[in-house]
Amino acid sequence: MSDGFTTLIASIKNKTATVGIIGLGYVGLPLARAFTAAGIRVLGFDIDPGKIAKLNAGRSYIKQIPDKVIADMRGGGFEATDRFDRLNEPDAVLVCVPTPLTESREPDLTYVVNSAHAIAAKLRPGQLIVLESTTYPTTTRNVVLPVLERGGLTAGRDFFLAFSPEREDPGNATFSVTSIPKVVGGLDEASGDVACALYSAVVPNVVRVSTPEVAEACKILENTYRAINIALVNEMKVLYDRMGIDVWEVIDAAKTKPFGFQAFYPGPGLGGHCIPLDPFYLSWIAKHYGFNTRFIELAGEVNTAMPAFVVSKVADSLNDAGKSVKNSRVLILGMAYKKDIDDPRESPGFELMDLLLKKGAQVTYNDPHIPELPRMRHWPHLSMTSTPLTPEFLASQDAVLIATDHTAFDYDFIVKHSPLVIDTRNATKAVTAGREKVVRA
């Protein structure tokens, strides 16, 4: 093995290594927390100067991570910077940047490629580079590797390269970075050895696979599995709605089977940084191999149709009350993509709001975790602040649409004071008084 390999392994074992993390978002920041807690210095990189200033002042911008945690991280050697010319300082650089889709549902690897170029400009012998951003198989080898080797250094000899998919689940207190098994695929044996040694410092169960492609494909499989099963129950919801059957009761009954069934739940559409996007990465690369991923495409069609289905239910419910959508006052409850978090990425709430506004509704929202709508890539025109829930305000609405089932919402209170509630999450299941005002959607 090279001297760089021996030196890096030793620095990881004695915790003198510095870990660099590019992208201090919902994936990168918890990862930085894990390494800092393990006594390893972390240098975090991000392009957002406001985020950098907050973190270096010991303040968090993610609700699930308290300020005290960031302050403790700072005391443990964590530093955030927007100076990418410092990428030669870390011994290992982990890339945790977004991988969105273009308007035509093709992979947008801009952030990954830009990160690779920034690393290449400062790459030195003995460094480990790990891509964590979800992407299609072959990205590490065919996209990242050529950029890193452009300066003359060779992977496996001069530096080390691996892929290890993030498995962050925002808002899930049951699991954390340090408790979820970490899949690692090195470009070569030495790269795999170094990457496994690094993650073993913070994760008790490192699952080594033979190549980066296997690790990349593993992550895509995990997310595609969820997307397809969610599409199945969404399609069942539409069918059972027409048949007058409660899909939630059906699922509750089915999940009593102790084998052969795992419960997935319908909703107003897919949200988050993984499930709505990642399967299309696989669809895209499949076409390069002359293969059509029909299940993925069909699941995408079903899931992307759900916001329109929900809006049609709102329209039908208003019509039953003798009102049209136009000029009706509609309150959306929840703009985060899942319950009890402040993450709005790809949230169906934005499409629901946009569709209702286009139909002429007067739309407001309330979300205890999102006091003001952030500027979204696909919905830059939606600018609004959360309206407090009072009996008077609820009573003034023509319809209240539950898009995200936050625990903080008092559903008895909401149903009591609202003239009409459209529930997309089965959030009002336990409400007994006023059930005649609730419509499932």
Write the DSSP symbol of residue 278.
H
Query: How do residues 53-74 score in pLDDT, each as one tens digit?
Result: 999 999 999 888 999 999 999 9
Between the CA of residue 134 and those of 95, 107, 139, 281, what are the distances in Å?
A: 10, 11, 10, 9
Q: What is the signed CA dihedral for 332, 167, 85, 37, rounded to 10 degrees?
A: 100
CATH topology (fold) of 232-440: Rossmann fold (3.40.50)
96 annotated active-site: no
Query: How do residues 350-359 score in pLDDT, each as one tens digit?
Result: 999 999 999 9
Strands, DSSP E only, in 96-201?
A: 128-131, 160-163, 182-186
Per-residue confidence (pLDDT) for residue 101, from 0 to 100: 86
Rounded distance, CA 81 to CA 53, Å?
9
| Cα radius of gyration (the chain) | 24
Per-residue confidence (pLDDT) for residue 1, from 0 to 100: 57
Rounded distance, CA 67 to CA 69, Å?
5
Q: Kind and range of the H or E element at 70?
A: helix 67-75
Mean pLDDT of 67-96: 97
Greatest mean pLDDT among 98-102, 191-195, 278-282: 191-195
> Does CATH place domain 3-212 in 3.40.50.720?
yes
Per-residue pLDDT for 172 more than 70?
A: yes
Q: Which of 96, 196, 218, 274 is catalytic?
A: 274
**Token pair 């080898």 is at which residue?**
141
Our CA angle for 390, 391, 397, nearest 5°, is 90
> Do 376 and 100 contact (CB within 8 A), yes or no?
no
Rounded distance, CA 179 to CA 172, Å?
12
* Joined tokens for residue 362: 């007067």
- Indicate where the chain has its CATH 3.40.50.720 domain(s): 3-212, 232-440
Rounded distance, CA 149 to CA 81, Å?
25
Mean pLDDT of 312-330: 97
SS3 238: helix
Report how far apart the first and last C-alpha atoms of the chain are (Å, whole number). Answer: 60
Q: Are strands 399-402 and 41-45 parallel, antiparallel or unpaired?
A: unpaired
Long-range Cβ pairs for the range 380-387 (8 Å, 24+): 382/350, 382/353, 382/354, 387/331
Mean pLDDT of 165-180: 82
* Joined tokens for residue 354: 């946009």
Q: Report which of 56, 69, 54, 119 is spatially closest to residue 90, judged by C-alpha positions.
A: 119
Runs of H (alpha helix) within 265-380: 278-287, 294-304, 306-320, 348-358
Q: How many residues does the chain have?
A: 441
Write the DSSP symbol of residue 257.
S
> Do 136 and 281 contact (CB within 8 A), yes or no?
yes
* Joined tokens for residue 279: 């399967």
Q: What's the whole-number average pLDDT of the chain?
A: 95
> Do 46 and 82 contact (CB within 8 A), yes or no?
yes
Instruction: Lowest mean pLDDT of 36-40, 91-95, 263-267, 275-279, name the range.
Output: 275-279
Global confidence as pTM: 0.92
* Joined tokens for residue 161: 């390269």
Q: Which residues contact 437 (CB under 8 A, 6 or more apart)?
A: 415, 418, 419, 420, 421
CA atoms within 13 A on the CB side of 274: 23
Rounded distance, CA 304 to CA 309, Å?
10
SS3 338: coil
Per-residue pLDDT for 49 more than 90?
A: yes
